[in-house]
């Protein structure tokens, strides 16, 4: 019998991405502290949080394959995070105007039965257009991306903020690197294309 697949997330964005693969899965909220640790760089942060999310959920699903993921946006090696408020989103988009922002998405696939896990970080760069204060304000009023790292939704109007996208998997920009996840699942014996 194939193990249950669990997405350790309450993110509607990650659920929508995982739905693309046509797999049966359940979601379970990890409820962990997502604060960064002292002197922790962005790569270490997203890897640690992805693994911690998977482990937190694994205690409730001991025979499952658990998917954990976390994402941050960085500018000049500083983490931008989720803005949460309108004023903070204005600040973030003003800072990123005309610049390149690096998104780091951590991905973990944990076999709760064996305790073995695969862990990776997928990078994706976004080159922003030069944005006027009015454009930023209009965008935020229309999309309200306050729960999104970097203050935008690339799957919506946010695409108009960009001059270029650079990376291997555009899904990673939304929060779940499906190309790498398919590889991880394959190594656990789950072939997404098998149709079983």
Percent composition of the chain: helix, strand, coil (DSSP 3-state, to 5): 35, 25, 40
Residue 90 has pLDDT above 70, yes or no: yes
- pLDDT, one tens digit per residue, over 105-137 is 999 999 999 999 999 999 999 999 999 999 999
166: left (phi over 0), alpha (psi -120 to 50) or beta: beta
Asked if the model's pLDDT at residue 182 lies above 70, the reply is yes
Degrees (nearest 5) of the Cα angle 38, 74, 92? 110
Contact indicator for 93, 131 with CB cutoff of 8 Å: yes
Of 3.20.20.140, 3.90.950.10, 3.40.50.2300, 3.40.50.720, the CATH number of 5-187 is 3.90.950.10
More confident residue, 36 or 98: 98
Active site residue 70: yes
Considering the candidates 31, 43, 44, 70, report the single residue annotated as catalytic.
70
């Amino acid at each position: 019998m194939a193990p249950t697949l669990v997405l350790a997330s309450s993110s509607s964005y990650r659920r929508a991405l995982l739905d693309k693969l046509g797999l049966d899965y359940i979601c379970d909220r990890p409820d962990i502290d997502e604060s960064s640790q002292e002197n922790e760089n962005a790569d270490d942060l997203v890897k640690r949080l992805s693994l911690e999310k998977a482990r937190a959920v694994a205690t409730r699903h001991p025979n499952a394959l658990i998917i954990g993921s976390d994402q941050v946006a960085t500018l000049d090696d500083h983490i931008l995070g989720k803005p949460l408020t309108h004023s903070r989103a204005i600040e973030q988009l003003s800072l990123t105007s005309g610049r390149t922002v690096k998104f780091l998405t951590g991905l973990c696939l944990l076999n709760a039965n064996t305790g073995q896990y695969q862990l990776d970080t997928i990078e994706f760069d976004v080159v922003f257009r030069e944005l006027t204060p009015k454009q930023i304000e209009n965008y935020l009023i229309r999309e309200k991306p306050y729960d999104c790292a970097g203050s935008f939704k690339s799957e919506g109007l946010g695409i108009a903020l960009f001059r270029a996208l650079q990376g291997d998997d555009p899904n990673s920009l939304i929060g779940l690197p499906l190309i790498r996840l398919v590889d991880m699942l394959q190594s656990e014996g789950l072939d997404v294309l098998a149709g079983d």
